[in-house]
Amino acid sequence: MNQDVIITCAITGDDTKVTKSPHCPITPEGIADSAIEAARAGAAIVHIHVRDPATGAFSMATEHYRAVVKRIRESGVDVLVNLTCGMGGYICIGKDGLKDTPAAGSDFVTQKERMQHVIDLCQEGLYRPDIATLDCGTLNFGDGNRAYISTPDYCREGAALMRDLKVKVEMEVFDTGNLWFVKQMVKEGLVPGPPMIQLCTGIPYGVPADTGHLLAMVNTLPANSVWSSFAISRMQMPWVAQSILLGGNVRVGLEDNLYLSKGVYASNAQLVQKARTIIEAMGARVVGPDQARERLQLN
């Protein structure tokens, strides 16, 4: 069991279904304010996607990431900022092979383009993130003909870019083969220690949210990993307890679950507070950003 728990709050994802919640932040100001509230509730890390303020659709624009990080940094609230690099990997397949592929809904770009906002902010120097994500494998995302494409060489390129930028890479693992490749990247020296790994469960059709699958992955983690896990929807809070029992940290937030209880929409701060209640009821404690920095060996 993990006695000292890092909480990550994933503020808003790229799924338009999240916007049905009245608490889903859309503008850079709203996303930053929700992140600040989550930090005050006990999150040591906030995981950030951005949206087009006019439409609510996901965005990859550096200007929106810059505005979010600037507002968080200038708030005086200490929290580690973790920016997604997961956008730009979707390909929708047509029914006639290459004749109508990529189909509508594809956003596939290069690995560097997926990370351009992180590169920009690091080069500017003012609002660089502490952490950024790398999706460590290809996956069928739900039914239909949409897949997320992250090949071994794309992953290698992303890990090397983050290493050179001195941004901690959080390796997101959606299936068991993803973890196999994470260990390969660690072996190749692409990932400075300690490895930071997020085990993502319950997303169709990745690894299921059940104890057996999670335990199998935990038992094959690279040595000295700082790891966390989450499950989506109604399994989010049970997974807080499950992750802690197996020695990990936790992630909650509106990206993965909209509800505080059945039919009751949650804010990010409320989800963090509920997770904190579970953690403390188990006899563990929530750690702050300074201890998280120390454990992650951030520069």
For tokens 């994470």, name the residue: 182
For tokens 């580690």, name the residue: 80
Confidence bin at 201 (pLDDT 50/70/90): very high
Q: What is the pLDDT of residues 202-219, one digit of tens each?
A: 999 999 999 999 999 999
In 3D space, the residue among 88, 162, 157 whose CA is nearest the CA of residue 130 turns out to be 162
Q: Among positive and negative, which fits the CA dihedral 113, 117, 123, 124?
A: positive
Confidence bin at 30 (pLDDT 50/70/90): very high
- pLDDT score recorded for residue 75: 97
Tell me the three state secondary structure of residue 48.
strand
Q: Is the pLDDT of residue 94 over 90?
A: yes
Token pair for 28 = 């850079």
- pLDDT score recorded for residue 15: 77
Confidence bin at 125 (pLDDT 50/70/90): very high
pTM of the model: 0.96
Looking at 3.20.20.70, 3.30.70.1060, 2.60.120.260, 1.10.3720.10, the CATH number of the domain 4-85+110-135+168-296 comes to 3.20.20.70
Confidence bin at 108 (pLDDT 50/70/90): very high
- pLDDT score recorded for residue 17: 72
Q: What is the pLDDT of residues 272-283, one digit of tens each?
A: 999 999 999 999
Q: Is the pLDDT of residue 114 over 90?
A: yes
